[in-house]
Structure 1
Amino acid sequence: MVVSGEQPLPLERKLEREKMRDRALGGPAQEDLPTIPDHYDWVGEPIVYMNLGYQTRNEEVDSSSKNSDSYYTVQASGDLLGMESRISLAKSAYDSEHREVLTFYKRPDSPDESMAGGLKFMAAGDIYAVSDSLIFSGGDGLGIDLQFGEVSNNDSFGKRVIEGDGPPNWEVELYRNGTLLDFQTIGSDGRYRFIDVPVEYGDNIFDIRIFGPQGQSRNKRESINVGNEMQAKGKTAVRLSYTDLGESLIDDKPENIVADDGTIIELREPPGDKKAYLSVKHGVTDWLALGAAFATHDNVFGQGEDNQYTELIVMGAFPGISLGFNHVSQDDAGEAYQLSGQTRLGNTSLSFLHKDFDDFSSDRNPGANLDTESEIRITGTFNPLSAFYAGANPISYSLIYDDEQRVNGSQIETLENLLGFSLLGGRMTINTTHSEFSQSESRTLGRTSYTRVAGYNTSIRAEVNYRIDPDAEATSATANITWLPTPHIRTQLGLFKDLSDDSSDSVDFTASYLLDKVTLSASAFVVDGGDNALFLSAEFSLGADSGNSWSISGKPRSQNGRLRARVFLDNDRDGIFSDGDDPLSGASFIGRSEWKHRETDDYGIAYLDNLSVDAPQSFGLNESSLSDPYYKSTFAKSHIISHAGGVQKIDIAVISTVEAEGSLSISRKGKIAPLAGIPITVKNADGDIIASAITEFDGFYVISGLPPGNYLLSMDQQALQRFKLSAIEDIPFVANADDGVVYIDAIVLR
């Protein structure tokens, strides 16, 4: 046989056949991957995000008034003292104070494990206090939160707290199953938090979309399944939390931001409450769980009042429905109870909630003003056009009715409806809220928003706010168009129109230059009446890189984990990088699309960003990127668990393998014909099967990836019997590292 440089090697032909089979079958089969657990370093390699800016403002009211100031956001995450640490330093323009927030987190290395004492989750430092259905409504402060047995972020039956980090003054939108639920602006502490977020019975996919003033965008996804959450039979969950709302780990006690006329622009001064909470839940049967909670609230709202509470919790999960009952007693006062339930009928989710208060005062009922509160939620989807058009998208809807009866006899009824549907390639959301007051007053407000990605480089966001009753009128309108004319240039045009009597229209335009190392932005802001402002900013991230250096990136990275992969030729075949091994450069990886373009350097090292922290991330070596087709990785493609700021260090050993090939044919009546479909196996010296193949249509077989050593080649005896052929003895052969290819003598069966 003659082999020239233009002819593919047998191994290359085999790989190409596998690719063709994968394409024909719709892709490779899904794999059950091994899991590489998380780990925490005592001192890790931090990831730092920075947004540095300068603003100058000219107020036309006072032509001599020209103000300028700097602003910045620094967010870092990394391992410290064996825990995940997150710190945020932020200062807004014209703000004399800066804010510091530092929080430590710790979770088990894998979901099926626990830490000491069965601990599943720990948060310490600047945390958010417990939020439940009848007693507490959360709050920022210095404290610690410990959860044993399972982790819960619920604040009420059928409701959740969804929180995260982001640069101050960025906008956050919260979507559930594709429908916009709420939005807010990130505060000066660099944290966003959605309280009492309703969840449906069944699957809930929450998308958190964060938008920056220069057209930046980030996306995060969380999933919650309601109906399968009840405490498992025989399992116990414990939560212990303490929060001092008047303190911070490193920040001085903040002061309110006050305008020149004394108006409070942002409320920062904490009330000084202290909240302690202990809950225990136990799964009694497959359908019943019981629990109890004990809580203390000292210096309520900073007024010196102390309250203590005892709660009984009953939860039931039946086919298609979940029920809950809570009863709370307040020491030396009254009591409260809550009855709740959730179910699903087809595409419709139903939820109800009823609270009754009797001389009961808490965060959820300040001053004991509430007598009863009832809520009914109906959410779902329908598709009126499905009968006419198979590709029609469904319409999502939500109806929420809330009725509050107060001790003084007053009543507030609220009906909120939300409708979401596809329109002109985008997503339209219509939200209206109607409120009825006992004084025969009513108010109806509405908001309609539209988002669309028009092509790969243009996105549109628009919103109109209006009042329907009384005196129907539009109150304001906004529109934002983001356009990327090139991969390195991002522009955004923003329009705001105040449709009320007090007009304050504005226009802003931003241009950003997206470099590999930094994103530079310039924004101009003009208000009707002559006021204007100019913003200049630089946005970048810092992270450790190989060779004891730091890498700079124009993309935010502090919210995710990182992976430090080292690829080396394992010359001594011990699986450990040592002096006798050779680093391999130019190797790339699979798992995320951007990893295909991130190659190892001369040290054999590559840092891979955006390692998922919400779910296990698949990871493997792209063997086709190795410089020698006979190199084979001993590392199996795996799922990796990580945390924000964590750096997973993985060494990938590569060995030089040998390819064995030969042919099998049959001779009858003097004619030799190839024998196809015969299983071939290769055994090592211990008799273990380490590789296999099946003869192709031409009788040839190729067995690749064999480490150097002594082997035995055998053929499936049952397959041979189909051709009435006698069994043959195993054929010994030797694979040497320098051979590359071992040619086994042609086998002719008679």
Structure 2
Amino acid sequence: YVPLERLRDWFDLDIELRLNDSRLDIGTGQGLVIEQRIERERRWALQSRTGDLMSTNGPIVSAEPAWLAWPVVDLNLSAGVDEGLRPVSPPIDRPGDGADDGRNDDNSSSEPTTLTSFGFDLLAAGDLLRSSGNLSLNYRDGGTLGRSSIDTRLRLDNHRQGGTGFGWSAGDILSPLLPLLSGQSEGVGIAFGDLDDRQTLDLTRTTLTGEALNGWDVEVYRNEELLAFTRIEASNRYQFDDIPLRPGLNLFRIVLYGPQGQRRERLERIVIGDRMLEKGQQRWQSFAVLRDRRLLPGSDALAAGRMLAASDSLMAGSRYQRALSKRWLLGLDAMSAGLDDGRQHHYLALHSQNSIDNWLFESRMIKDVTGGVAVRAAVQALGTENDLLLDAERFTDFASIEVNGIEDSDRLLERLRLRWNSTAIAGLPMTAELERRRYGENGDRPARDLDAARIRFSRRFGHFSTSTSVAAKRETGLADLIDGGLLLSYRRSNLDLTSQWSYRLSPATQLRDINVNATWTFSPRMRLRSTLRRAFEDGADSRATLSAIWIADTWTASATLGYDSTSGYTLGASLFTSLQRVDDRWLASARSATTSASASAQVFLDHDGDGRFGAGDEPLPGVNLRAGFAGKLATTDPEGRALLPHLLAGEPSPVHLVENSLEDVYWQPIHTNQQVLAGPGQTVDLSFPVLVTVEVYGKVTIVDARGERPAGKVRLQLTTEQGAVVMERASEFDGFYVFDRVVPGRYLLRIDPAQVERLDLRPSAPVALHLGGENASDAAVDWRLHRNSASPTH
């Protein structure tokens, strides 16, 4: 008998004795030790059956850029008819009122007008000039209005896969993010160096950019927390500015949704804190950019991009950082840029990052050679449930692209920010921010102070993700403002719903606008998508669309009916397809492939054992391969080939051969797992040679004073010719042993030397075996072991 109290202590269980039926009630918070062990073994067995997809074991096969290769192309064609009222004469201000107040003082005439339009969007990615080429093209034909526009971007990248080593980018690029100097500026230029763009120079924020076709929706998650979303309107590019960072690993998941129901994801990692660089490591990068320009003629870059200070001016610079220890990093930046004052400004910046225990410190000083100084200091407290950031900035007669650099802007003198991230309150991720700005007098703009506060809660439960925020702003000479927002996302297999509500609480309570996007999946081939936007201020208007989407294997089409309260009804249609050339033939797909990599795998019986598919080898159809961390399944065709698209670009993606899909249990692949490392649009050729395995078997007997008898539990080892143990087996009670599924090759078979010594046996010479090739049959080796003076024979 065991006292119940002692049993509770031993197993750390909540146990209640029920005397009426002689039963023990055990709390569900923690299982028995044996139950935990059974659950672990169940997980291990499941992991083994699914092929250990998350394992990084296996050789890495990378793609070398070619001089010229067929690209992967995403193409979307669209056409529309817009029926509504259009003004036929320009608005005229009434003469004599003494001012142009921006309002029509007479009624301009309008009449029903039918407008037709056509457009196409193209994204292409592939090898060009031994680098990775990316082309973006947008064309809009104004139809009956006679206004057409075209915007093109061409970029070449040559970076070592995995983000390390020297690399360069040229063409239509984004300049690096330099805190207090410049955000990511778009233009024509070149950037080169070995600095990993994912290693941020700013502890507090970052910018996330990428490419997708116009009309796609983009969501950003950090560690499964929904941060923001947007819809791509122009230039086939999305950009999220001022994304807040937290200490440790910031794993951003960027999810893109196409208007015809497509979906793709990409990951971006940014590490804040200790060991961003190892001791002695250094990184550098140089760049030069002509802002707001396009490489190819005929592009309307300014209309597509965002306007910055001194457009078309040259911005050039370099940045360097070195880790003096695993906790201390120093950096030096230099930049030259033209501002709206008509001068070219030259900057030098020195910055330091240091971590002490659970604290992270950053300091930065920037000197404008022709002007003033900017100073920044930041400290972060690193914690698992709470982290705190305090950031102070001061500007003395300082102007840059990011700060005070645009004409007629406010002159910022000081900025103080406090941010608190916590999950300690009922387990809810919470972010609270306080900010104070002080502006100096600048022309007709008076000096003033601005105070702002913001708090945001997010929660994920079941199929719902929700985020609630409230922001307050107080500015000298203006009324206090309090705004709020609610972001709600609901995703199930047949329904995707995203809604955003914006409202004002002060000075007057008012609902500002509502945005709702919903997609219903009726079948794998049919979806219905609707959008609704209602604005309640600044000329209240309503917009709604309803789209029917048809999905085939090679294309996706949609028909859309829309309504705009200011312009009337619209009717549109679009067609999307993604083209990829594999094995000398074009393949079309309804899924986007321009930002992902692909693998073309071949599985075959390697009869000659050389690891390459040759004339005497046999392709294996019907073999299953799983690709990517999601384990997407593909099956080989009669030629033993399978295409594995939509793999992560720039990072190793596992490809696993499912062994139980092989016909013969004695077939053994040389590599069960391989990893694909390729850039966007690249296809890597993989080979999975399969060998016909053999058996090595026999019987072990021992001879001593009592005679000869079977020897059980004798350990036998199959080693390489150099002595490395490949397999080990023990003989059964009747002396028999079997090495099954032995891959052909040259081996040595021996008795375990440690057991020979322990059992007082005479050492025996290993047996050389040549398995496979012309001698593909099994090998039988019997052993007679003698004690002391007797020599073993086999």
TM class, shorter-length: 0.7 to 0.9
Q: Which residue of 1 aligns with 2:547?
A: 510
Cα distance, 1:433 vs structure 2: 1.7
Distance 1:709 1:221 in 2: 42
Distance 2:700 2:44 in 1: 27
Q: Which residue of 2 aligns with 1:102?
A: 154
Q: Which residue of 2 aligns with 1:275?
A: 315
2:580 maps to which of 539, 543, 550: 543
Cα distance, 1:614 vs structure 2: 5.0
- Identify if the C-alpha distance between structure 1 residues 506 and 290 changes in structure 2 by more than 3 Å, giving closer, same or farther: closer
Matching of residue 432 in structure 1 with residue 443 in structure 2: no
Indicate if the aligned counterparts of 1:588 and 1:595 stay in contact, CA closer than 8 A.
no
2:600 maps to which of 550, 558, 564: 564
Query: For 1:609-620, what aligned pairs fall within 5 Å after superposition?
Result: 609-620=645-656
1:67 maps to which of 115, 122, 126: 115
Deviates more, 1:173-182 or 1:98-107: 173-182
Distance 2:735 2:115 in 1: 83
The residue matched to 2:660 in structure 1 has which SS? helix
Distance 2:568 2:423 in 1: 46
Q: Read off the aligned partner of 2:421 and give its amino acid letter.
A: T
Matching of residue 372 in structure 1 with residue 391 in structure 2: no
Cα distance, 1:543 vs structure 2: 0.7
- Identify if the C-alpha distance between structure 1 residues 266 and 205 changes in structure 2 by more than 3 Å, giving closer, same or farther: closer
Q: Which residue of 2 aligns with 1:27?
A: 47
Distance 2:378 2:218 in 1: 30
Indicate if the aligned counterparts of 2:61 and 2:684 stay in contact, CA closer than 8 A.
no
Deviates more, 1:475-484 or 1:176-185: 176-185
Matching of residue 453 in structure 1 with residue 505 in structure 2: no
Q: Which residue of 2 aligns with 1:123?
A: 169
Distance 1:174 1:101 in 2: 24
Q: Read off the aligned partner of 1:601 and give its amino acid letter.
A: D
The TM-score normalised by the length of structure 1 is: 0.85
1:188 maps to which of 229, 234, 240: 234
1:45 maps to which of 70, 81, 102: 70
Q: Read off the aligned partner of 1:570 and give its amino acid letter.
A: D
Indicate if the aligned counterparts of 1:733 and 1:744 stay in contact, CA closer than 8 A.
no
Matching of residue 466 in structure 1 with residue 518 in structure 2: no
Q: Which residue of 1 aligns with 2:324?
A: 284
Cα distance, 1:418 vs structure 2: 1.0
CA deviation profile, 1:472-506 (whole Å, cap 9, x unmatched): 11122232332212222222233333344844334
Q: Read off the aligned partner of 2:546 and give its amino acid letter.
A: F
Distance 1:92 1:132 in 2: 35
- Identify if the C-alpha distance between structure 1 residues 510 and 253 changes in structure 2 by more than 3 Å, giving closer, same or farther: closer
Deviates more, 1:233-242 or 1:693-702: 693-702
Distance 2:773 2:327 in 1: 61
Q: Which residue of 2 aligns with 1:249?
A: 295
Deviates more, 1:178-187 or 1:45-54: 178-187
Q: Read off the aligned partner of 1:400 and give its amino acid letter.
A: E
Q: Which residue of 2 aligns with 1:401?
A: 434
The residue matched to 2:382 in structure 1 has which SS? strand
Indicate if the aligned counterparts of 2:601 and 2:686 stay in contact, CA closer than 8 A.
yes
Cα distance, 1:687 vs structure 2: 5.8
- Identify if the C-alpha distance between structure 1 residues 310 and 21 changes in structure 2 by more than 3 Å, giving closer, same or farther: closer
Matching of residue 714 in structure 1 with residue 733 in structure 2: no
1:692 maps to which of 724, 728, 733: 728
Query: For 1:191-202, what aligned pairs fall within 5 Å after superposition?
Result: 191-202=237-248
- Identify if the C-alpha distance between structure 1 residues 652 and 328 changes in structure 2 by more than 3 Å, giving closer, same or farther: same
Q: Which residue of 2 aligns with 1:76?
A: 124
Distance 2:466 2:244 in 1: 20
Query: For 1:251-650, what aligned pairs fall within 5 Å after superposition?
Result: 251-254=297-300, 271-298=311-338, 300-301=339-340, 304-366=342-404, 369-384=411-426, 394-408=427-441, 409-422=447-460, 425-454=463-492, 456-500=493-537, 502-528=539-565, 531-546=568-583, 548-592=584-628, 597-635=633-671, 637-650=673-686
Deviates more, 1:656-665 or 1:404-413: 656-665
CA deviation profile, 1:556-614 (whole Å, cap 9, x unmatched): 11101111223333333333344444444333323337876423334443332122125
Indicate if the aligned counterparts of 1:211 and 1:218 stay in contact, CA closer than 8 A.
yes
Indicate if the aligned counterparts of 1:397 and 1:417 stay in contact, CA closer than 8 A.
yes
Q: Read off the aligned partner of 2:561 and give its amino acid letter.
A: A
Cα distance, 1:266 vs structure 2: 8.6
Deviates more, 1:171-180 or 1:577-586: 577-586
The residue matched to 2:423 in structure 1 has which SS? strand
2:252 maps to which of 206, 222, 238: 206
Indicate if the aligned counterparts of 2:161 and 2:651 stay in contact, CA closer than 8 A.
no
The residue matched to 1:79 in structure 2 has which SS? strand
Cα distance, 1:678 vs structure 2: 4.5
Distance 2:710 2:163 in 1: 56
Cα distance, 1:517 vs structure 2: 0.9
Indicate if the aligned counterparts of 2:710 and 2:733 stay in contact, CA closer than 8 A.
no
Deviates more, 1:614-623 or 1:20-29: 20-29
Q: Read off the aligned partner of 2:76 and give its amino acid letter.
A: N
Distance 1:396 1:138 in 2: 29
Indicate if the aligned counterparts of 1:352 and 1:376 stay in contact, CA closer than 8 A.
yes
Indicate if the aligned counterparts of 1:101 and 1:251 stay in contact, CA closer than 8 A.
no
Query: For 1:731-750, what aligned pairs fall within 5 Å after superposition?
Result: 735=771, 742=778, 744=780
Identity %: 21
The TM-score normalised by the length of structure 2 is: 0.80
Deviates more, 1:728-737 or 1:46-55: 728-737
- Identify if the C-alpha distance between structure 1 residues 53 and 594 changes in structure 2 by more than 3 Å, giving closer, same or farther: farther
Indicate if the aligned counterparts of 1:658 and 1:739 stay in contact, CA closer than 8 A.
no
The gaps in structure 2 that reach 5 residues or longer are 1-39, 87-109, 442-446, 787-794
Matching of residue 682 in structure 1 with residue 718 in structure 2: yes
CA deviation profile, 1:408-449 (whole Å, cap 9, x unmatched): 221111112111123564111112221111114211221101
Deviates more, 1:591-600 or 1:96-105: 591-600
CA deviation profile, 1:158-206 (whole Å, cap 9, x unmatched): 2212111111132322222333333333242111112222201122222
CA deviation profile, 1:85-105 (whole Å, cap 9, x unmatched): 111112357461121111111
Indicate if the aligned counterparts of 1:414 and 1:434 stay in contact, CA closer than 8 A.
yes
Indicate if the aligned counterparts of 1:340 and 1:353 stay in contact, CA closer than 8 A.
yes
The residue matched to 2:47 in structure 1 has which SS? coil
Q: Read off the aligned partner of 2:359 and give its amino acid letter.
A: I
Indicate if the aligned counterparts of 2:255 and 2:263 stay in contact, CA closer than 8 A.
yes
Indicate if the aligned counterparts of 1:130 and 1:155 stay in contact, CA closer than 8 A.
no
Indicate if the aligned counterparts of 2:626 and 2:633 stay in contact, CA closer than 8 A.
no
Q: Read off the aligned partner of 1:576 and give its amino acid letter.
A: R
Distance 1:716 1:543 in 2: 55
Give the paired residue count.
705
Q: Which of structures 1 and 2 has the bigger CA Rg? A: 2
- Identify if the C-alpha distance between structure 1 residues 229 and 525 changes in structure 2 by more than 3 Å, giving closer, same or farther: farther
Cα distance, 1:255 vs structure 2: 6.7
- Identify if the C-alpha distance between structure 1 residues 141 and 593 changes in structure 2 by more than 3 Å, giving closer, same or farther: closer
Q: Read off the aligned partner of 1:624 and give its amino acid letter.
A: N
The residue matched to 1:27 in structure 2 has which SS? helix
The residue matched to 1:624 in structure 2 has which SS? helix
